[in-house]
Every structure is written in C-alpha cells, then in structure tokens.
Amino acid sequence: MKLIITQSVLAELLETAKNGISTKPIDPILGSLLIEASDSGRLTVIGTDLNVSIKTTAITNIIRSGVVALNAKLLVDTVNNLGSGELDIEVSDRACVISHSTGKCRIIGGNPEDFPSIPETENPTEISIPSKKLQAALEACLYCSSADETKLILTGVHFQLQGENWSCASTDGHRLAFVSSKLERNYEPLSFTVPRRSLTELGKILATTAENNSCTLKVANNTIQFILPNAELTSRLLEGEFPRINNLIPRSFANELIVERKGMEIILKRISHFAEKKHKIVKILWEVNDQQATLMTGNTDIGDAVDSLLMKTQTSIGENIGIGVNSSYLQEALKHISTDEILFRFNKPLQPVIISPVGGLLDQLTLIMPVDVQDFDKPENLATTSKPETETVDISEQEVSNETTNIAETSPSDTASTSKSKSRKRNKQEAKPVETAAL
C-alpha cells in the first residue's frame, strides 16, 4: 500500500474512527485501526469494539492499494504530533513507514485478516433524518439514559416510527426525556433501542456534519447503521421491552407556567449548594397572583436559601401551588434546552412535572417525578429550615394501564392539596416519596 495524504485529513479520519475502539480491548487486534486504500482513490479507516464500529472515508492520492491494521493509540499520537503538510505512507510486510517534511517513523502492524468484519444489515428499513434534527434529539435525550448495566434496556435511547412521525425517548427510572418530529414520508411501525455509547459517538460525528446533510438509518437483524457522507457508525441494538413512555406523560394540565431559562439556571446555581446532599431537594412555590416563582432549599447543618424570578401564566387553577423536585434533575433538564423560555406543566403537587422549551427545533420534554414536601412557607428566619428525608421515585417500576391519561391519577398517595402560606414560622418538614401506580 502506498499513498499521499495531508496530515490534517488523516488526523481527522483517525480521531473519528478511534472512538469505536474500547479503552480496554479484549483482544490486541481490537486495539487497532484497520486502514484500507482502494484503487478508486478512497482511504477507509475502521475502529470497532464488536458492539459499535465506526468507519470514516476520504478521497486521497492512492498510488498502490492495500490494507493494514495498526495500533490505534500509537498511530493517532504519531500523526497528531507531525507537522502540517503532506505525508507519504507506504506499507510493506505489515510495517507502515510514514514520511514527513523533516523525517520518518515506522509502525509495525498486526494481521489485517484477524480484524473482525462489520455486521451487515440485510433487507433493512431505511429512514432519512436531517442531521441537525438527529443531533438535537440525541442532545435532548442521552442525559436521561441510565448508567446501570443491570437494567440494560434503560442504558439506551428508544426510537419509534409510525407514519410520518418519529420519536426517541430515554429514562433512568427517575426521570425521562422525550423528543418527536416529522419525517418526509410515511413508514410502517418500527421501534428499536440503541445503546448510549453508540449514540454518544454518533453525536460527535453529527457535530462535525454540515447542517444541510441528512443521516440515513438502516435497521435490520438486531443491527443499525447510521450513514453520513464521510462516516458510518454500525451498532448492535439492545434487546428487551422498553417502558411504555407514552403512558407516563399526562395528556392535559391544570397549570402551565413560563419562566426565563437563564434566570432559573442562575438561581439554581446560586441556591442548590444549600440543598441536603442526598436528595438535593429544591422547593418551588408558584405564586400565581404575584406572577412569581420562589425557589427554596436548605440543610440544617449548613443553612438555607430562597430566591425568586418572574413568571408568566398560560393556564392555572388560580391559587399558589408548591412542588418539590431534585435540583440536579432540574438543572440538567434546563441545560439541555436551548430556548430562552421554558414551560412548566403539571396538575397536582405529586403528579409528574413536565419541562419543555418554548419554541425550538423539535417537540421536546423532560418529565421529573416530584417529591412530597409539606412546608412551602417562605422562611422569615432561614436558619430554622429542617432537613428533608425522602426517596426518589423509580419510573421504570411503575405500571400504567393503556387507558391511563395521567399517571398520578392512580396514585394512592395523591392527597396533596394546593400549598398556601399559613405561617411565617417554619415547621419541621418531612419529604416523602411520591407513590404512583407502577409500570
């Protein structure tokens, strides 16, 4: 094999393909990149850990075709430290010599015949999605997927297609993210779950893809391929039944309240370090008549904090209402919304809280299960706040019938009433987990 290629082009190919390699490969050949030069002038670089494979390609000056398997880390480090300009690459008897403007280096490769082949999809269903929409969907969903390998199906993002609609969803058992949009044509019903790691690497590729490009998905044989102009990612799909996401999302809301995203992010950053460390509860008192949202949090060991921002009412029952949520979950939800304003939708204090952007590229929402907090009085003496004790709700263990329109309507503990300020004196509070009918 012999070719001439610019250092920047080769470095980009290698950097993308190496993300398909495991940090701890189970076989030495899986720590290598397979490099193929074809007579058509196309250079292909492949990295794989058997579950996910990444193939990148570029057109370059191929003098003699061939194939070689080279240690990924050594090759990437070598090329990244070479100066800009053209590189002459020649492979003979598994030895790869890279000549540059001031010298040369030699890397001994492995047997390319030992490199595993990438799974092929037979008679696949093909779906075309605009690259920027797919990238935005992954950014809005991936953070809610689980890191718990004992619940393997929850470590991925679940895709659904039906007619001209497509959606993807993720949940870690305590919260969920859901995104939907339209396709250019109708499709037969299809659903599949893609591992988080595969989609994380796909997101990196999409971030470097031109805005007007589309990504072609090929699904078949428990395998999916994401095909872009200069890169392909192939992944195995996760097996198992994903939770019935649609049954968990309420279909109507008594309260719809809008706040400025940046303002709420600043307040959460300001007060969240006062929250009790285990459950990180922040209490939000929606003061409808005053068009104000007041956030409160505290820990008996260190102190308390309270802060407010303006809100706008879309619909409301017309009374003050308090909800308690995990501040980390709320902060992450806001971080993955790009619009200036966010919409909070909920019914009663112990029913799901839905957070959505106002506008945006996709229909997007995050669902967070609330915490049962009894005291929403504004503190006069912040230092008297007591420490809440609670457990988080596991969405994945809930059960909802197909007829359910609101998950929390089946809750045996749904007895919370609208919270009002009754006293300036703080009472000892106990935060209890919300009990909901299970999946």
Tens digit of each residue's pLDDT, the chain (439 residues) = 999 999 999 999 999 999 999 988 889 999 999 999 999 999 999 999 999 999 999 999 999 999 999 999 999 999 999 988 999 999 998 999 999 999 999 999 999 999 999 888 888 999 999 999 999 999 999 999 999 988 999 999 999 999 999 999 999 988 999 999 999 889 999 999 999 999 999 999 999 888 889 999 999 989 999 999 989 999 999 999 999 888 889 989 999 999 999 999 999 999 988 887 777 899 999 999 899 999 998 776 788 889 999 999 888 777 888 999 999 999 999 999 999 999 999 998 889 999 999 998 899 999 999 988 877 666 555 433 344 444 444 554 444 333 333 333 333 333 333 343 333 333 444 454 444 333 3
Residue 1, C-beta contacts closer than 8 angstroms, at least 6 positions apart: 35, 37, 64, 65, 66, 67, 68, 89, 90, 91
- For the chain, the first-to-last Cα distance in angstroms comes to 57
pLDDT, residue 346, reads 93
**Does domain 125-174+181-240 bear CATH number 1.10.30.50?**
no
The fold adopted by the segment(s) 255-433 is DNA Polymerase III; Chain A, domain 2 (3.10.150)
User: Distance (Å, rounded) from C-alpha 157 to C-alpha 135?
Assistant: 13
Half-sphere exposure of 420 (CA within 13 A, CB side): 6
The yes-or-no answer to whether 2-114 and 255-433 have a common fold is yes
Report DSSP state, residue 438: B
3-state secondary structure of 8: helix
3-state secondary structure of 160: strand
User: Distance (Å, rounded) from C-alpha 62 to C-alpha 398?
Assistant: 58
How do strand 432-433 and strand 2-6 relate by DSSP bridges? unpaired
**Does domain 2-114 bear CATH number 3.40.50.300?**
no
Across-strand partners of 105? 98
pLDDT, residue 429, reads 43
How do strand 231-236 and strand 223-228 relate by DSSP bridges? antiparallel
pLDDT, residue 394, reads 58
Q: Give me 420's structure tokens.
A: 């009002």
Residue ranges covered by each domain of the chain: 2-114, 125-174+181-240, 255-433
